[in-house]
Amino acid sequence: MRHGCPRWKSIVSTYLIRSFFLCVLSVSVLASELHQEPMPDSVLDYLVYSNHNAPYQYSDVESGHKGIVCQVVDAIAEEAGLEVHPHMEPIKRMKRSIRSDRYRHWITYGMRAWENQTDWDKHHFARTNIFRFQPVAVLPKDSSLQLQQLSDVGAVKVLLIHGFDYGATRSLLINGGAQIDEVDNQQKALSMLRQGRADLFIEDGLRIDFALREMELTKNDFRVVPIMPSSSRFDVTLVMSEDTPKEQITLMNDVLARMKNSGELEALVADSRLDSTL
């Protein structure tokens, strides 16, 4: 056995040396993956706020990402020669991703009310608005609840979309005694209203139009009441990230202005309204 020991030590030594170099190689590969080259300037990250945001942003199996904002982004990307990479997250998570600089050279939409907020004020809001949100309350057709403003809601069961950012609205409802129930999408909320399982659903008017069309229903199947006065704080436009090249920001503003002046923006919104199919 003593004569075999030197050979065994040699085998062990060789194995340890090879293992060491394999470890070094693995660490080098991992380090390379962690420090990849940044995306080329020809790529534009397009941030999509979940899949329950039709007709503004949504996707389907056949044609991918669709909607009013998607068409505007595609027009800008085509003119700039950019490749669009969509990323879909619920809006609350998306805002965290934006704060942490997870994405670079991104574009999405934002409300004018966000323009001076800490998380958004360093980014580039376009000069031209695309559309305006109109918050509405949807009630069962036979509901006796009288609403003129949000504070009239009271101690009833209110449906909201899970993952959406309602700002101060949620607190106002809860302080007024409302019971909040979050649902996955607009169609689920409207079905619950028809079944008598909730008292009202608060949502944007154009998203309601789209959901009713998808369900082959009309506004006559419900009571739809504006819950807040129309305001410029509900205006929506495109936003580009702080690190976006200046020429792309200029192009965004030029394309939006041209689409507005030609009536194309107005037509995109009008085509999404329920009344346009009646």
* Cα angle value 64/68/71 (rounded, 5°): 60
Residue 35 has pLDDT above 70, yes or no: no
Say if strands 222-226 and 135-140 run parallel, antiparallel, or are unpaired: antiparallel
**What is the pLDDT averaged over residues 112-138?**
92
Q: How far apart are CA 55 and CA 69, in angstroms?
A: 8
Please, what is the end-to-end C-alpha distance for the chain in angstroms? 95
Q: Same fold for the domain at 43-132+233-277 and the one at 135-229?
A: yes
- In the numeric block, the tokens 């939409």 are attached to 109
- The per-residue pLDDT for 63 is 57
- The per-residue pLDDT for 26 is 42
- Categorize the per-residue pLDDT at 169 as very low, low, confident or very high, splitting at 50, 70 and 90: confident
Count of CB atoms situated within 10 Å of the CB of 150:
17
Q: How far apart are CA 179 and CA 59, in angstroms?
A: 31
**What is the pLDDT averaged over residues 217-246?**
90
Q: How far apart are CA 133 and CA 204, in angstroms?
A: 6
Mean pLDDT of all residues belonging to the chain: 82
- Categorize the per-residue pLDDT at 278 as very low, low, confident or very high, splitting at 50, 70 and 90: very low
Higher pLDDT pick, 120 / 273: 120
**What is the pLDDT averaged over residues 200-205?**
94
Percent of the chain with pLDDT over 70: 81
Taking domain 135-229, whether its CATH number is 2.40.50.140 is answered by no
Domain ranges for the chain, please list them.
Answer: 43-132+233-277, 135-229
Range name among 33-37, 76-80, 116-120, 163-167 with the lowest pLDDT average:
33-37
- The per-residue pLDDT for 263 is 95
Options 3.40.50.2020, 3.40.190.10, 3.30.390.30, 3.10.129.10; which CATH number does 43-132+233-277 get?
3.40.190.10
- The per-residue pLDDT for 273 is 77
Say if strands 179-183 and 124-125 run parallel, antiparallel, or are unpaired: unpaired
Kindly tell me the burial class for residue 105, based on how many C-beta atoms sit within 10 Å of its own C-beta (0-12, 13-18, 19 or more). buried
For the stretch 41-53, pLDDT in tens is: 688 999 998 767 8
Residue 15 has pLDDT above 50, yes or no: no
- The per-residue pLDDT for 9 is 44
- The per-residue pLDDT for 272 is 79
